[in-house]
Amino acid sequence: MQQELIDPHGGKLINRMAPQELLEDLRAEAANLPKIPINAREQSDLDLIAVGAFSPLEGFMSSDDYRSVVNNMRLSNGLPWSLPVTLSTTEDVARSLSIGSKAALTRDEKIVATIEVQDIFSYDKVSDAEKVFRTSEEAHPGVRAMYAQGEILIGGPVTVFERAPLQFPKYNRTPAETRKLIQEKGWKTVVGFQTRNPVHRAHEYIQKCALETVDGLLLHPLVGETKSDDVPADVRMKCYEVLLENYYPRDRVILGVLPAAMRYAGPREAIFHALIRKNYGCTHFIVGRDHAGVGNYYGTYDAQKLFDEFEPSELGITPMKFEHAFWCNQCEAMASTKTCPHPESSRVVLSGTKVRNMLASGQMPPKEFSRPEVAQILIEAYRSRQSVADLA
C-alpha cells in the first residue's frame, strides 16, 4: 500500500508548466503579445510557481491577495501565506496591458512564460516594506530589492514554457519528485531544514535531535539569489555532500536544493519556508535561532514566536523549535541552554566574523565548532577567492 503524504498547502500541488503538446502553439501566440521583462528573483518565483513549490499560488498575486498577505499574512481566502510573490513592471509597460488579456514574460529578451492579466495595481513600497520586513531601511537587502522593483504590480495565473537552467540538477527535484522519493523510502514523517550557510556542528546537532523523532530529514539548502557576502552555493553544496557522506545515516537523509531567492524577512520568511517544505512533503520543519534574519532587524527567537500566532491546523506543518546549540567543554558534548547548566565560558561559540577571519587565514576552526572536512572546503574556497582578487 502506497504511503499517504501530507497534503500540499491548500490541498493540491499546482502545476503551471505548459503541456509539451501545446508548447509550439503557445510560443507562436506569445510572440505577438505585449512583453514584460522579469528579473532574476521574479524568474526564480516563476519557476517555483510552475512546479508547485508555491502551492496554492497559480501565478503572481492580485491586489486582493497582495494586500491581505502584507497586512494579515493570509491570502484573500484566509489561507496562511506570509510573503508577497509579485511581478513588477514600469508604468510604460503597464500601459500596454489590459485586464483580461495575456502578456509574455521575458528574461534576457527570451519568452519564458505568459500571464493572464487579472490585475494591474500600484502599491506603497515604504509602507509595505515596513509591514513585511519590519523596517523601511534600504540597508536591509529585502527592502532594497523591493525598492528596486517597478512601480506597478501585475497579477494573474502563469503558463511557463521553460524553467531557468537548473542548478545542481542531481539535487534539483520538484515537489512532485521529492514526494515520490519520500514515498519510495516509506517515510511517514519528514523534517525539513532550511539553510543558506554551510552546516556547522550546531546545525548538525539540531538536525540529529529532530531525526530522533521523525523518519527522515530533507536537507534543503536555498541556492537562489543571496547576498554577495554569503558563501557561494557551489561551495556550500560540497560541504553538505562531505558532511552527509561521513556523519549521517544515508538511508534517512535526502539532500535537495531550493532554487528560491532569499528575502531576509526573518519571522515571515520562516513561515514561508515552512509552507514551501510542506509542498515538498515535509511534516515537520526546524526553526532555529534568527531564521532568515539579517543584521539586527529581528529578535533571536521572533520566528519561533510567529508560528504561535497560527493554529497548528492552519499551517499543517509542525515547527520543531530549537535553542542556540554549542559545544560545552564541561559536558564534553553538544548542548543548548535548555540542557547545559554550565557558564558561557565553558562553551565553544564563535562569531561569524571570527570564523571568516580564521578561514581566510587558513586556520582551521576548532572541531567542536565545525567538522574538519567542512572547514577544509571553506578554507580552500577562501584561498581561491583571494587568489582571484589578487589577480584582479
Q: Of 196, 236, 277, 347, which is the active-site residue?
A: 196
Phi/psi region, residue 52 (left: phi>0; alpha: psi -120 to 50; beta: rest), is left
CA 128 – CA 149 distance, rounded (Å): 13
Cβ pair 314, 80 in contact under 8 A: yes
CA 84 – CA 71 distance, rounded (Å): 10
Cβ pair 172, 255 in contact under 8 A: no
- 172 is known as an active-site residue: no
CA 14 – CA 4 distance, rounded (Å): 18
In angstroms, the first-to-last Cα distance of the chain is 60
Peptide bond into 56 cis (omega under 30): yes
CA 215 – CA 202 distance, rounded (Å): 21
**271 phi and psi, to 5 degrees?**
-60, -45
Cβ pair 359, 386 in contact under 8 A: no
Q: Of 39, 144, 197, 356, which is the active-site residue?
A: 197
CA 346 – CA 95 distance, rounded (Å): 64
Closest by Cα among 335, 383, 331, 392 to 361: 383
Cβ pair 254, 182 in contact under 8 A: yes
CA 198 – CA 239 distance, rounded (Å): 6
- 95 is known as an active-site residue: no
CA 140 – CA 145 distance, rounded (Å): 9
State the catalytic residues: 196-197
